[in-house]
């Protein structure tokens, strides 16, 4: 019998589709997850806050062989523990890609029309005589740092609006820029979109130098991770008009404390890392991916979305 620890919230989606030979243990609390995983071979232990995921995995015994997650980023996972235990990790790349890509495009549209100022006028019961934002997207250009599942969808949607798109990938495939080639070209772009996985190499990838190299009219759009941006440098850049503004779905830290100065930055739009949750099919898609991978795992076939534990994504 193969023991699998699974979220109780997915029981209705999974239970009647589990193959014979799977003993499912459904957890509804961190305490239950930590206890159930001790002799499990398979674990899907996604929880909020994500620090609880690492705690559960560290509670696992030597039988653990596969960890599944609907998260695309792996910064919550103790990758060293998984490597030492020779555990396979499959991530949720694609599960939230549509929703996150739509958020990125929404951010660009909101910035172009300064919809944040429109809402402020509405809250003040004002009727402006002119529009606060007048940028039309055709003829503008976007740099997308990270052309994976999310970045590719952002590019597809922006091209439909007439935006010229340049991507950044690790390999430079399909005419994209390599990681060492995008910074010298920052002055070319109106929109700089961060959609890369969070790794040691991407931490603080946008700092004072990168912000200074951008157009003063450019916007930074972050739908990746907050730690990719030097928050102090960003605040300084926003306060001095070094860039026009920033649309920040993730921040660093999270949740952003009520007293944090980013809340007061007039040209920063903060969306509280809600992009991936702005859909109704996340668990359905996650359950479908898990079942597909479970069948492959039991049959000894390659699974989808196997993470590179050395690279961190």
DSSP code at position 197: -
Annotation marks residue 273 as catalytic: yes
Q: How far is CA 260 from CA 23, 211, 231, 244, 270, in A?
A: 46, 20, 11, 20, 12
Give strand ranges (E) for the chain: 2-7, 22-27, 42-43, 66-68, 88-90, 141-145, 164-168, 191-194, 219-222, 245-248, 268-270
CB under 8 A, 24+ apart: contacts of 233-240: 233/206, 233/207, 233/208, 234/206, 234/262, 235/261, 235/262, 235/265, 236/208, 237/208, 237/211, 237/212, 238/265, 238/267, 238/268, 239/265
Catalytic residue among 32, 102, 188, 254: 254
State yes or no: is 114 an active-site residue.
Answer: no
284 is catalytic: no
Catalytic residue, from 25, 41, 114, 273: name it. 273
Q: Which of 17, 9, 7 is nearest to 298 (CA)?
A: 17
Tokens of 258: 């009520």
Sheet of 268-270, strand order: 164-168, 141-145, 191-194, 219-222, 245-248, 268-270
> For residue 147, what are the contacts with CB-CB under 8 A and spacing of at least 6?
155, 167, 168, 169, 174, 176, 195
- Per the CB < 8 A criterion, the answer to whether 23 and 1 are in contact is yes
List the catalytic residues.
Answer: 225, 254, 273
């Amino acid at each position: 019998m193969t023991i699998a620890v699974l979220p109780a919230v997915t029981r209705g989606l999974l239970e009647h589709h589990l193959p014979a030979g799977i003993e499912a243990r459904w957890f509804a609390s961190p305490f239950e997850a930590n206890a159930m995983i001790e002799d499990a071979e398979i674990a899907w232990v996604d929880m909020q806050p994500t620090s609880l995921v690492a705690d559960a995995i560290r509670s696992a015994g030597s039988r653990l062989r596969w960890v599944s997650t609907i998260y695309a980023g792996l910064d919550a996972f103790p990758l060293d523990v998984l490597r030492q235990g020779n555990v396979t990790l499959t991530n949720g790349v694609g599960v939230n890609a549509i929703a996150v890509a739509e958020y990125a495009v929404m951010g660009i549209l909101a910035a172009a029309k300064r919809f944040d100022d429109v809402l402020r006028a509405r809250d003040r019961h004002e009727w402006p005589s002119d529009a606060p934002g007048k940028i039309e997207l055709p003829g503008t250009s976007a740099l997308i740092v990270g052309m994976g599942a999310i970045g590719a969808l952002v590019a597809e949607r922006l091209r439909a609006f007439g935006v010229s798109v340049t991507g950044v990938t690790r390999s430079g495939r399909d005419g994209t820029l390599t990681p060492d080639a995008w910074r010298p070209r920052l002055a070319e772009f109106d929109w700089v979109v961060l959609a890369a996985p969070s790794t040691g190499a991407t931490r603080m990838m946008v700092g004072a130098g990168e912000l200074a190299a951008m157009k003063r009219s450019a916007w930074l759009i972050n739908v990746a991770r907050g730690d990719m941006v030097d928050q102090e440098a960003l605040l300084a850049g926003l306060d001095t008009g070094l860039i026009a503004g920033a649309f920040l779905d993730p921040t660093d830290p999270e949740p952003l404390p009520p007293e944090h100065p980013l809340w007061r930055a007039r040209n920063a739009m903060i969306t509280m890392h809600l992009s991936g949750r702005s859909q109704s099919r996340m668990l359905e898609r996650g359950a479908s991916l898990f079942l597909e991978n479970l069948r492959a795992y039991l049959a000894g076939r390659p699974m989808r979305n196997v993470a590179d534990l050395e690279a961190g994504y």
